Structure 1
Amino acid sequence: MLLILSRACHLAGHRGCVGTQVFLATMTETRVYAGRLAGMMLMGPYGDSIGRVRDVVVTIYQHRSHVLGLVIALPNKRQIFLPILRVASINPSEVMATSSSVNLKPFQSRSGEISIQHELVGSKVHTDDPEHAELHGQALEIVDVELKQSRTRDWEVSRVAVAQRGRLGRLGKVAVVPLSRIQGLSASGTGPADNNAELLASFQEMRAADIAIALNDLPEEQQTRLAREIPNERLADVVAELPEDSRIAILNQLGVERAAEVLEEMEPDDAADALAELPAGTSDVLLDLMDPEDSAPVRRLMSFSADTVGGVMTSEAIILTPQATVAEALAHARNPDVSSSLSSLVFVVRPPQSTPTGHYLGCVHLQKLLRHPPATLVSELLDLDLPALSVADSHETAARFFATYNLVCAPVVDEGNHLLGVLAVDDLLDALLPEDWRDQDWRVGNEAQKEPQTSLQEGDADA
């Protein structure tokens, strides 16, 4: 266990500060004060210095919170954003990143996101904490914010250090209060409540499909305004789940450069579907703006007919060579960027591994990998009896394949037995369902659309 005095305690002159740990590590969780993080060095995995931590970005919604990432000042003074998932560990004297490679795009604050040092520290709030009845009804100043990481590696705001400022401007005794007992905090910080900020903060706890439903219920102008505030990677997942009309409208309103960035983050099959819905001239411009490495598989998928397996397959899958081990295969399957359906099978090919690959050798189910030692070669575990689909096969043929073999993804090969892609069952279902299925409630027999979230729409007088 590591104990270091917090900045909040120093400001209070050590006068009975509650929670004097700025960094507390136990077997199940880690706690750290945001004020202590400010100024810490951000180090790469090999000991290389990347920059210094300047702030922590969080969302707060109905007394629940998520830490999104850190604002990092590079040696050239540029401030960038480091997602919290790119943080390997937080130590008493430094923060370790998972990689020395960082996105150099300048940090820009978004609606629904709060910078702790810049926006919260020094702000006025109230508390109804029964443990601090003497503070009820008093104007309190936020001195620091405690962050907690659970065993699931998720970070959140756990407690807030507050104090009264005396007549001479000095801070009094510091009290550390649970976030749930702080009054006057919202998704927009301590200022007036903002409906769009509340919605964006609520999105942090929602699946992409549910965000798409919420967006689709809103006026088009508000849809666009919210979409502009959602990070590209997250927006890519949401756009893929939107009905065609809303998807086209948002991509058009984003502007070609931002739209191209979002398409780069989408799965190739989803990007191909979205581009196919746009006018030919627009889709050509977007493809040209995309990184060639991202646009190449999209162009290839767009060359297949939409009513065939080739038109709904994806080029993203776990594809390994015969020399790969079970340990390597499982490491790829654990990648959170790989969907659960695509991680269920590992495909083994001769080089090259990128589609179209070399000769396709076979596949291994995830369950089989889990039953064998880590050093076992995947080539020793191949299912040689499982047939593959062809790009020209119909959707009905693919559905029969899945029903016959009880799988959720399948290999797709050409006449020369080269792996061209993989068909996921969710993509097949998307193609088999009526075109307007996203406009309806997903429950069987309930064709009524979900009620729009009117209390969060712009212009709501009661918000």
Structure 2
Amino acid sequence: MSAPTVFVARLAGSGVFDPAGERIGKVRDVVTVPRTAASPRVVGLVVEDRGRARVFLSIGRVLSIGGGQLIASAISDRRFRQRGGERLLLADVLGRTVTLRDGSTAVLEDLSIAERGPGEWEVDELFLRKPKVGPFGKGPTTLARWNDVRHEPDADHDTDHLLASLEELPAADAASAMLDLPEQRMMEVAEDLSDDRLADILEEMNEDRQVQILNGLEDIRAADVLDQMEPDDAADLVAHMTTERAETLLELMDPDEAEDVRMLLAFGADTAGGLMTTEPIILASDGTVAEALALMRRHEVAPALAAAICVTLPPYEAPTGRYLGMVHFQRLLRYPPNERVGTLLDEQIEPVLTSDTAAEVTRQMAAYNLVSVPVVDTAGRLVGVVTIDDVLDHLLPADWRTQEEPQRG
């Protein structure tokens, strides 16, 4: 089945509905950020809500687009404010003149966006109109890809180039690049990055820098960034804020995300509960190998979490029903797609309790060469997993991210 493709000019004015079918606004524009060697990435939409205010809708909250309407899980009440690296496709891009590979020019009359993966949209094709050849009618039209035409630079070219570079770098390298900037410039770049990209980068910084950057953002923007972070990283960051600021941001966060963060904050930092993440891959015992591998392939799943699945009784979101066991990726590869995962449980791996110390968790992971270990409460319900990167972050000195690499002989 081909990925959905949507033409932006037709999307403008489309109704936005919640999953229950209630109209919550209409689309006014599409927000993108540039990338150095690829088409711009769609990060969200400008939506006019029922109060006629223009607010930002993250593309990750869009459930479907089609039939002249859009369904979204929720829209923010944060007023939309265009950042330096962002481009509005209707307001800033349509109507521009571009140069084709053969040297001819054309006007960009429309363009399409396409979904490349769950929640990942990018500019697809450009609908171009060439100059008319006679005194009557319109010029011929043609389709082209974004990188098949030359776009004239604008006044924000330098900022766009920096932001595009940060979008392409691994998060750890992007964090280092930001920290090398002058403080004011660093804060300006943080303002201009998309919520999910800033979240990825913050996760690679030490707590002092995280707090500094988040405290420089408006409350609603800071809460949106926390929503995009892994719950354990968000909890670590919130724990380093003042009580008043932390509570303000938790109230503004998505309720489900905030609930996970509050739960993690209740555990000591030196315990399995304090180290764990609350979003492991969970499957029923009658789930198949094919289903398990499909869950592992999701782009948003971190590599350490994709190394194994946890099998439980219902419900299948933490805290789950009774924990049954774990199945590792390599074991799944050895069995046919229709094999039930309940028959493949690794009986050697015992879960740890939320109250177990970090030292106990580390010893178990080292003894069994584990990438992750399940964490249960006293009732035997799965509440999360501790991954190898969680343990390393705990064992390494607090300033390990800023220490210079030793010279090689």
TM-score under structure 2 normalisation?
0.78
How many Å separate the matches in 2 of 1:42 and 1:295?
Answer: 25
Q: Does 1:303 align with 2:260?
A: no
Determine the structure 1 residue equivalent to 2:75.
103
Q: Does 1:381 align with 2:381?
A: no
Deviation track 1:227-266 (CA, whole Å, cap 9, x = no partner) reads 2233333332222222222111111111334323332332
Deviation track 1:124-146 (CA, whole Å, cap 9, x = no partner) reads 45x373x23xx4xxxx5633355
Q: Does 1:268 align with 2:240?
A: no
**Are the equivalent residues in 1 in contact too, given 2:84–2:156 (CA < 8 A)?**
no
* Amino acid aligned to 1:142: V
How many Å separate the matches in 1 of 2:210 and 2:49?
Answer: 40
How many Å separate the matches in 1 of 2:8 and 2:266?
Answer: 51
Determine the structure 2 residue equivalent to 1:119.
92
Q: Does 1:430 align with 2:393?
A: yes
CA gap of 1:194–1:309, structure 2 versus 1, over 3 A, is same
Q: Does 1:279 align with 2:255?
A: no
Q: Does 1:209 align with 2:172?
A: yes
How many Å separate the matches in 2 of 1:320 and 1:178?
Answer: 40
Q: Any unmatched runs of 5+ in structure 2?
A: none
CA gap of 1:275–1:394, structure 2 versus 1, over 3 A, is same
Alignment length (residue pairs): 403
* Amino acid aligned to 2:175: A
Determine the structure 2 residue equivalent to 1:226.
189
How many Å separate the matches in 1 of 2:260 and 2:301?
Answer: 17
Q: Secondary structure at the match of 2:75?
A: coil
Determine the structure 1 residue equivalent to 2:108.
143
Kindly report which structure 2 residues correspond to 1:33-44, keeping only aligned pairs within 5 A, or say none. 34-35=8-9
Shift of 1:147: 4.7
CA gap of 1:296–1:150, structure 2 versus 1, over 3 A, is closer
> Out of 256, 259, 265, which is 1:293 matched to?
256
**Are the equivalent residues in 1 in contact too, given 2:62–2:72 (CA < 8 A)?**
no
CA gap of 1:122–1:439, structure 2 versus 1, over 3 A, is same
> Out of 305, 314, 327, which is 1:364 matched to?
327
> Out of 57, 60, 71, which is 2:34 matched to?
60
Shift of 1:337: 2.9
**Are the equivalent residues in 2 in contact too, given 1:121–1:141 (CA < 8 A)?**
no
Q: Secondary structure at the match of 1:300?
A: helix
Larger radius of gyration: 1
Q: Secondary structure at the match of 2:214?
A: helix
CA gap of 1:419–1:150, structure 2 versus 1, over 3 A, is closer
TM-score under structure 1 normalisation?
0.70
Kindly report which structure 2 residues correspond to 1:12-411, keeping only aligned pairs within 5 A, or say none. 34-35=8-9, 55-62=29-36, 64-68=38-42, 71=45, 81=57, 83=59, 86=62, 94=67, 101-103=73-75, 105=77, 108-125=81-98, 127=99, 129=101, 131-132=102-103, 135=104, 140=105, 142-144=107-109, 146-147=111-112, 155-157=122-124, 161=128, 163-164=130-131, 179-180=146-147, 182-186=149-153, 191-411=154-374
Shift of 1:346: 1.7
Q: Any unmatched runs of 5+ in structure 1?
A: 1-26, 448-463
Shift of 1:402: 2.9
How many Å separate the matches in 2 of 1:151 and 1:296?
Answer: 30
How many Å separate the matches in 2 of 1:70 and 1:259?
Answer: 17
* Amino acid aligned to 2:75: N
**Are the equivalent residues in 2 in contact too, given 1:45–1:96 (CA < 8 A)?**
no
**Are the equivalent residues in 2 in contact too, given 1:308–1:393 (CA < 8 A)?**
yes
**Are the equivalent residues in 2 in contact too, given 1:28–1:151 (CA < 8 A)?**
no
Q: Secondary structure at the match of 2:196?
A: helix
Shift of 1:270: 0.7
Determine the structure 1 residue equivalent to 2:406.
445
Shift of 1:185: 3.0
